[in-house]
């Protein structure tokens, strides 16, 4: 609620003045100063090229330090500068770490890759910009964007989709660098490596004239089993999220205790270290077929994804968990759901049509039910109701034969007892 002029103090009054030069006039004429939330006087930080701004700088000084000394005196100015430096240091410390929502984007992107596309990440690429002789921050994202775009075009020419996520980091050993997790079909290991690094026609030779393994490290695995593919991918996911803020805590739904997120997901202790301060707006990103837009599109189509991290299903995220890789079974569930929808969109069976017409004999006469127009109208109504029911069906009610985290919690708490053989088999994993 906006304050009245009688309630408004000088600091509130200054905030109400939109014109910066007019604000400087009132500051000078009425000796008004800004304060922070703690009541400490803020630096003037005079800006603008208007008459009053220039006049105030001539009176008080052109630098922040000069202005503070002239306004507050040496001792108070020194305190204000120290407070500001401490605030900047604290802000820089928080920027060293990955946020929880950024980590969730990575986990969800990898999970969606399997749930929706039946694939796992099997390639790990690290781009070290210092070793590529790129020292300007603005050149780094430009190079990364070019690489990701050209790699996507090359994968299309080979007949495959280009799935990836990336994470920017800053370390003492490598300086600014980017980790990329991608899916590269094993048969393309040598062609992709040659295209990327190991030939004079490679991407990095064409763009940087550097092709060393120190600058571009490439690992492409060929897991022989689903278990090994799952384990390798999620180990790499833990590695690229190692910069998560170690002070983040969440509740363990099984014990009810508050614990470190690192401990809840079983993050390897030797991975844990700051991600470093980066000069980019976004620390993480992903390809269009698995990132936020793709997930939202699937949800609009009645196929929302499950997010173990979003729902704090910690037991389904740990590397030693019996449920790691549940996404491959969820892919089968989603395939079955899509088959159900295609069946629903197709022609109804004769018995179903007959039952539906019988339900409407109170609204239509027998002669009307024989008319083609009425029958078509009723069948459209039946299809619409079936589609609305299909879209409204809660994702947790879909038929599954794997132990979900909500099943696990119910059984562990003794809330539910298995009623069928299928449910009994599920409980054996608990």
Ranked by mean pLDDT, the top range of 45-49, 58-62, 88-92, 225-229 is 225-229
Average pLDDT over residues 382-396: 88
State the pLDDT at residue 301.
93
State the pLDDT at residue 43.
53
State the pLDDT at residue 1.
44
Average pLDDT over residues 277-306: 95
Residue 46 predicted with pLDDT over 70: no
Average pLDDT over residues 294-318: 95
Residue 277 predicted with pLDDT over 80: yes
The domain segmentation of the chain, as residue ranges, is 10-94, 100-327, 345-427
Ranked by mean pLDDT, the top range of 1-15, 64-78, 264-278, 342-356 is 264-278
State the pLDDT at residue 376.
82
Name the residue with higher pLDDT: 68 or 100: 100
Name the residue with higher pLDDT: 384 or 20: 384
Average pLDDT over residues 132-136: 88
Contact (CB, 8 A) for 334 and 298: no
Q: 346-363: per-residue pLDDT in tens?
A: 777 788 778 878 888 878
Residue 8 predicted with pLDDT over 70: no
Ranges 64-73, 120-129, 144-153, 227-236: which has the least confidence: 64-73
pLDDT band of 411, cuts 50, 70, 90: confident
Name the residue with higher pLDDT: 31 or 80: 80
State the pLDDT at residue 412.
73
Name the residue with higher pLDDT: 410 or 189: 189
Name the residue with higher pLDDT: 356 or 312: 312
Ranked by mean pLDDT, the top range of 72-81, 376-385, 410-419 is 376-385
State the pLDDT at residue 150.
98
Q: 155-208: per-residue pLDDT in tens?
A: 999 999 999 999 999 999 899 999 999 999 999 999 999 999 999 899 999 999
State the pLDDT at residue 426.
58
Percentage of the chain beyond pLDDT 90 is 53
């Amino acid at each position: 609620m906006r304050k009245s002029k009688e309630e408004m103090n000088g600091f509130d009054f200054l905030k109400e003045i939109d014109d910066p030069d007019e604000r400087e006039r009132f500051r000078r004429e009425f000796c008004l100063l800004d304060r922070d939330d703690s009541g400490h006087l803020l630096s003037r930080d005079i800006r603008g090229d208007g008459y009053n701004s220039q006049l105030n700088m001539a009176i008080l000084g052109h630098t922040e330090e000069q202005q503070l000394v002239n306004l507050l005196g040496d001792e108070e100015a020194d305190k204000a500068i120290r407070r500001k430096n401490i605030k900047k240091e604290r802000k820089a410390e928080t920027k060293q770490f990955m946020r929880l929502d950024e980590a969730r984007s990575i986990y969800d992107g990898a999970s969606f890759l399997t749930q929706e596309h039946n694939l796992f990440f099997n390639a790990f690429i690290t781009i070290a910009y210092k070793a590529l002789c790129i020292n300007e921050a603005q050149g780094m994202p430009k190079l990364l964007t070019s690489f990701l775009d050209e790699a996507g075009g090359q994968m299309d020419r080979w007949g495959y989709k280009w799935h990836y996520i990336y994470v920017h980091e800053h370390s003492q050993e490598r300086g600014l660098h980017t980790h990329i997790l991608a899916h590269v079909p094993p048969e393309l290991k040598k062609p992709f490596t040659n295209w990327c690094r190991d030939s004079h026609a490679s991407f990095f030779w064409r763009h940087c004239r550097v092709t060393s393994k120190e600058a571009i490290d490439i690992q492409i695995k060929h897991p022989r089993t689903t278990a090994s593919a799952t384990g390798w991918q999620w180990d790499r996911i833990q590695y690229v999220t190692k910069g998560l803020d170690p002070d983040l805590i969440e509740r363990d739904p099984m014990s009810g205790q508050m614990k470190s997120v690192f401990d809840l997901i079983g993050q390897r202790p030797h991975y844990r270290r700051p991600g470093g301060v980066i000069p980019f707006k976004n620390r993480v990103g992903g390809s269009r077929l698995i990132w936020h837009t793709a997930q939202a599109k699937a949800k609009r189509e009645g196929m929302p994804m499950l997010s173990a991290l979003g729902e704090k299903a910690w037991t389904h995220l740990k590397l030693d968990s019996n449920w790691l890789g549940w996404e491959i079974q969820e892919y089968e569930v989603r395939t079955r759901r899509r088959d159900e929808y295609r069946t629903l969109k197709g022609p109804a069976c004769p018995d179903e049509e007959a039952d539906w017409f019988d339900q409407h004999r109170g609204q239509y006469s027998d002669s009307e039910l024989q008319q083609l127009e009425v029958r078509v109208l009723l069948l459209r109504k039946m299809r619409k109701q079936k589609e609305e029911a299909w879209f409204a069906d809660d994702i947790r009610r879909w038929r599954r034969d794997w132990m979900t985290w909500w099943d696990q919690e119910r059984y562990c708490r003794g809330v539910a007892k298995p009623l069928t053989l299928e449910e009994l088999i599920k409980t054996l994993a608990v």
